[in-house]
Amino acid sequence: MRRNPNGTDVRVLSFAAVGFHGREWRTRLASTALALATLSIPASAQPTAAFVDLAPDLASTIADALGRGAAANVTFAPDEVRMQAEVVRLLAARGIGGGERADAAKVTAECSTNLRERVCVAEIRRGADRRVVMITRPRDRADDSGGEPIVGIDARPIYTQRHPMLDVADAGDRLLVLTPDSVALVGVDAGGARAIASQPIATARVWPRDVRGRLRVTASSYEAFLPGVTCRGTTAPFTLACADESAPWPAGGLANSGIAPSRNAFSTTDGFTFYEAAPVGSDRWLAVGERRVLTFVDATGHVPAHGDPADHAAGFRQTCAGDAAYVVTDGRSSEGNGDTLRLFRVVDTRLVPLPSTATLPGTLTALWSAAAGAGPATAIVHDVNAGRYEAFHISLSCAR
């Protein structure tokens, strides 16, 4: 409905006079490929955020039906966790919560579409009483095209070598490559990558069996972090000096005291042990904890995530998806010997799987998030069959 200058409502549906010139076979075939790809997407991964704008109305309607002071146990379909979280939050703001109470109403809700409108329906059961409430919003193609963004994983190879790598970092137009023994400065040009210079890591320490290392580059200087050893140097001239000292590592921005000399895990100041940390918002992380348990960490404490365990996690703040947070974790590929990166959207304390994966050529040995998730993560992969280590930049691509 549009409101006329004279104040009357006029129902207006207008469409651009767009022709349907439709025999462009390449486009059609591409569309078919996309359609078939869509068919192969698990149902649980269907985007549902297109309904989140209906959450306030739905919560209000449910609240009106329940009455003040009521308790409700609200459940949506498994692929609508984001909607469920939003409705539960809005109901709680209206004083309705307490799903564990014996007298709690059971609210089963679902959102869908028909040809004319988007629909959210809630069935409210309280004892023998049953009531169905629903809210609708006219459907238009702007809704369809402007809904949940399509987010995918991009894995871009940046460097390969036969010897073990711990981390790789950009240093201007060159790369710094950290190994257990050295830091190398690598030039990359049309002819490929070649080591320009190398500086040994001078230390008397014996590395732990699962040695880990991290680089941090700031302007023309850099730091290399190893268990119980911190090295500092410059790229021009290329220098390096190491000392037996523990320092906080750059671990996705999560404060830590570094890795102890004979260990492979970090500790936070309150004693929480973690292996990697993925930033998932302002002052919030998803950390790989002990026994591969993914755990949300923020100022209020540690909460296990609802999701599969993993050895690695990286976080991203994707601008095209608004303020949504995404994480990539690892899993064993069903094909071949490589690991697979899996993409999730972070919703409250849940990891909602998205239909995007990337198969790596070997075993993922490290996955380092950029500070605050503002850039690509760095993945180090050991390709046992090819006998080499490969570094990748992992980022997200986004489209609507």
List of residues contacting another protein (CB under 8 A): 8-17, 19-23, 25, 28-29, 31-33, 35-36, 39-40, 43, 46, 48, 77, 79, 110-119, 121, 123, 130, 132-134, 136, 139-141, 144
Residue type, 368: W
Choice between 9 and 335, CB closer to another protein: 9
| 200: CB partners within 8 A, 6+ apart | 181, 182, 240
Helices 55-66 and 81-93: crossing angle in degrees, nearest 10, is 50
Neighbouring CB atoms inside 10 A of 135's CB total: 20
Choice between 21 and 162, CB closer to another protein: 21
The values of phi and psi at residue 294, to 5°, are -80, 130
- Cβ atoms of 59 and 66 within 8 Å: the answer is no
To another protein, the closest distance from the beta carbon of 150 in angstroms equals: 16
Classify the phi-psi angles of 271: left when phi > 0, otherwise alpha if psi is within -120 to 50, otherwise beta: left
Rounded CA separation 79/43 (Å): 8
Choice between 61 and 160, CB closer to another protein: 61
To another protein, the closest distance from the beta carbon of 64 in angstroms equals: 13
To another protein, the closest distance from the beta carbon of 143 in angstroms equals: 9
- Provide the b/e sequence for 364-378 (b: ≥16 CB within 10 Å): bbbbbbbeebeebbb
CA distance to 209, 231, 325, per residue, from 217 (Å): 26, 12, 25
Q: Which residues pair with 223 in a beta bridge?
A: 216, 232
Choice between 19 and 237, CB closer to another protein: 19
To another protein, the closest distance from the beta carbon of 53 in angstroms equals: 16
To another protein, the closest distance from the beta carbon of 195 in angstroms equals: 43
Record the tokens describing residue 344, joined without a space: 């999730």
Choice between 15 and 335, CB closer to another protein: 15
Choice between 33 and 243, CB closer to another protein: 33
To another protein, the closest distance from the beta carbon of 365 in angstroms equals: 36
Choice between 31 and 385, CB closer to another protein: 31
Rounded CA separation 307/345 (Å): 11
To another protein, the closest distance from the beta carbon of 74 in angstroms equals: 15
To another protein, the closest distance from the beta carbon of 124 in angstroms equals: 10
Give the rounded distance of the alpha carbon of 36 from its chain centre. Answer: 25
Q: Which residues pair with 379 in a beta bridge?
A: 367, 392
To another protein, the closest distance from the beta carbon of 350 in angstroms equals: 18
- Cβ atoms of 220 and 236 within 8 Å: the answer is yes
Considering only CA atoms, give the Rg of the chain: 26
Choice between 115 and 219, CB closer to another protein: 115
Q: What letter would DSSP give residue 103? A: T
Choice between 37 and 202, CB closer to another protein: 37
